[in-house]
Homo-oligomer: A and B are copies of this chain.
Amino acid sequence: MDSQAASSDSGGTEAEFLARYDPSLWPSIGVTADVVLLTVRHGRLCVLLVERANHPHQGKWALPGGFVDIEEDLDAAAQRELAEETGVAIEANWLEQLKTYGTPGRDPRMRMVTIAYLAFTNVTQEPVAADDARATRFFAIEDLHLPELGLTDGMDLAFDHATVIADGVERARAKLEYTTLASAFVDEPFTLGDLRRVYESVWDITLHEANFRRKVLGTPGFVEPTGTTAPTDGRPAQLYRRGPAERLHPPILRPPPD
């Protein structure tokens, strides 16, 4: 019930109503922004976590994040908290909302609503712990043994962050199908082998090299050749940069989970 609702026949103007309105009469709900930052290193999908320096869940690993400032946009808060705790800077186009978590009791301090963000980066940036973080590093998703992804003996993460990470991984896996997201995981310039290994790491399958090549090169705007080559363990490979396309028509579908 809205105890401060202006009844429709009170006759006051909106300006008068707003002048009387007292936000502090509402019970306090905490609003935080957390970031699920994913990357691929050594052929494994990884997430950036911080070791909590403070209560609650002191010493446990958690997603970077924290309180949204009263005059700060949600996206900005996510970027700021990520930078403050881990030193990692993310461009806004690689940062998207994942989901909002607000079940009562999920934080022992108070009723807390957390807007979780999903971010992607290449392997260049090295995190540096600061602020609320005692340490920070990347964890391979498979090493977390998230029960939400069908595994057991999950690591004891802070709050409901195991669920949040699992939701983020599932979103990333789905987005590879119908967007050019995969190219956000690699440094420019990159080879088609680099790009293919992103798909293989995130989906945890192997792809047919020749078919993948045909598909990627046949999608206008996915990648653009630079004309240069890079050495590999075999024949040197053509280098590419990201093209302007953001969506894949038609998509690259994962094999059904049978």
Copy count, this protein chain: 2
Q: Is the CB of A102 within 8 A of B23?
A: no
Q: Is the CB of B68 within 8 A of A29?
A: yes
Q: Which residue in B7, B68, B71 is a CB contact (below 8 Å) of A54?
A: B7
Q: Could you give, for residues 98-112 of chain A, a 1 whenever the CB lies within 8 Å of some chain B CB and a 0 otherwise?
A: 011011100011110
Q: Is the CB of B14 within 8 A of A56?
A: yes
- A226 interface hit (Cβ, 8 Å): no
Q: Which chain B residues lie closer than 8 Å to A57 at the CB level?
A: 14
- A192 interface hit (Cβ, 8 Å): no
Smallest Cβ distance from A161 to chain B, in angstroms? 17
- Say which one of A37-45, A120-128, A249-257 lies at the interface with B: A249-257
A contacts, CB < 8 Å to B:
2, 5-8, 12, 14, 17-18, 21, 23-24, 26-31, 53-58, 66-68, 70-74, 97, 99-100, 102-104, 108-111, 113, 115, 132, 134, 249-251, 253, 256
